[in-house]
Amino acid sequence: MPLPTTFLPNEVPLQRLQDVEYEKRGVEVWVKRDDLIHPQVSGNKWRKLKYVVADALEKSATKLITFGGAHSNHLLALAAVSHHL
């Protein structure tokens, strides 16, 4: 079963950093804006969770259990993903 990702963008925007020193050296620096994926599910958290969630959906799981420290952003990300399933 494909992972429902309609609440997340398919592509992460790239942003060019402009700096006089870069321009003097003819260097282009681009930043992948993972912070724009979702307010609670940003870059590394989404890349980690998408496989776990896809596996759970494939197995028709009705619950997800995870572990994270106090005030964990991982737990917040899982809650946000679960809300959209």
| Residues belonging to the active site | 72
The Cα 83–Cα 85 span in angstroms is 6
| CB-count exposure of residue 60 (10 Å: 0-12, 13-18, 19+) | exposed
Q: How far is CA 26 from the centre of its chain?
A: 31
